[in-house]
Structure 1
């Protein structure tokens, strides 16, 4: 049954509204893609740059390659559950006491579950290390909450682990030790840098829907012409 003029007008108005809405979403995804690519380039540059001194104040510094020194506080060390290319086990999270009295939580690396006792301690005295600054991971893991009272950790939550005693909002992923360096555990340098980037697919989807609106509008106009 042919549409009446009023219904055809309403249909065309709706299609026009959808067309501009889909186009706006497509443009937004194009802009998001440009932002994501710039972010990836910035992070790649940081990761492969020579290490710099730890910033005195934190800002836009995630994945910044830094160098620090201090003494490990093994008595305050905790283990957080981890799944890595080396298998399942734990991240070894050890506070580093710096010369100025501040403490930075350091992810010394990965250890298999059966080898936890082997990393209860480590180098004595002052150590110098490099690594990547990472953002704190509050709350816990997927469908699992951290249980501080029970000593069960599913994320690297700086504030919860340190009770406010550590430099806030950041921890350090230690670089891998040079080949042949002992001890072999924990295994550092396992930071996974991966950014989900499907913005082009999303943009093409929105623009495709916009084109479908154009096609539907053409059919409505064609039907209107046929019944003029």
Structure 2
């Protein structure tokens, strides 16, 4: 008498059925969690954008007020401020940049304040060929008043940014220690820990051209959430279809669908 070999088929089929359901439910849960997280990020990003818009359109604050804010929160990003002083042109630092499709530099120079302290100011865009100050007319030779947006320092080098090159005077990210390397400072002078992006220049055709601060906060969280929830819905539909087919059971051998009569 031959032993039957098909006895485990039914338990194995049940096991595969429940494993498949468990896997689908786990996948749906993960996708829904990701979608919910993106909705939370959407709320956070919209609040951040609203906060920045409120900041940048406010009245310029004094240096003292911005210093107090930085001491309290270490965050003065895009806070309008106004300062007075004298530029030390010999301390110019050049950051690779583009503006309106043109390659060039953002020119950072130390602004010496009345109390002797220094503040690095991003004076604006300079075309690539005009890096040499002798090739452009310098108009800010005396005391000046600069209005613009305060900017936080960059604590660490971004992954996408090369190392700064103080020797060649080429910079890619705002590292105050790098920017002060090789700089001959007045006796006892210290730098403020934040920066200032100058606003638009009075002479629109002059260089450096101020007002080049880029404020772009990508906000794709809603589309990401829709994607995750859409995938969860697709998986749910597939799961329901799988369960329905499984409950109907396999079609007996030899049974064919009845032809549809026209």
TM-score by length of 2: 0.77
What is the root-mean-square deviation in Å for CA atoms of aligned residues?
Answer: 2.6
Aligned twin of 2:5: none
Which residue of 25, 41, 51 corresponds with 2:34? 25
Distance of 2:81 and 2:115 partners within structure 1:
17
How far off is 1:120 after superposition? 8.0
Aligned twin of 2:126: 111
SS of structure 1 residue aligned to 2:67: coil
Aligned twin of 1:197: 219
Distance of 2:159 and 2:221 partners within structure 1:
26
- Work out the number of aligned pairs and report it: 225
Instruction: Give the greater-gyration-radius structure (CA).
Output: 2
Distance of 1:136 and 1:50 partners within structure 2:
22
Aligned twin of 1:135: 152
1:16-55 superposed matches below 5 A: 16-54=25-63, 55=66
Q: Once the two structures are superposed, what CA deviation does each residue of 1:172-201 show, in whole Å capped at 9, x if it has no partner?
A: 1100123x47x8221000111111111111
Distance of 2:76 and 2:212 partners within structure 1:
19
1:1-228 superposed matches below 5 A: 4-54=13-63, 55-57=66-68, 58=70, 59-85=74-100, 87-116=102-131, 117=133, 118=135, 121-137=138-154, 139=157, 142=160, 144-163=162-181, 165-168=190-193, 170-178=194-202, 180=203, 184-227=206-249
Structure with the bigger percentage of strand: 1
Aligned twin of 2:258: none
Q: Is the 8 A contact 1:141 1:154 kept in 2?
A: no
SS of structure 1 residue aligned to 2:83: strand
* Structure 1, unpaired ranges of 5+: none
Distance of 1:36 and 1:221 partners within structure 2:
40
Q: Once the two structures are superposed, what CA deviation does each residue of 1:63-109 show, in whole Å capped at 9, x if it has no partner?
A: 11111112211121122211111611111110111223321110111
TM-score by length of 1: 0.87
* Structure 2, unpaired ranges of 5+: 1-8, 184-189, 251-262
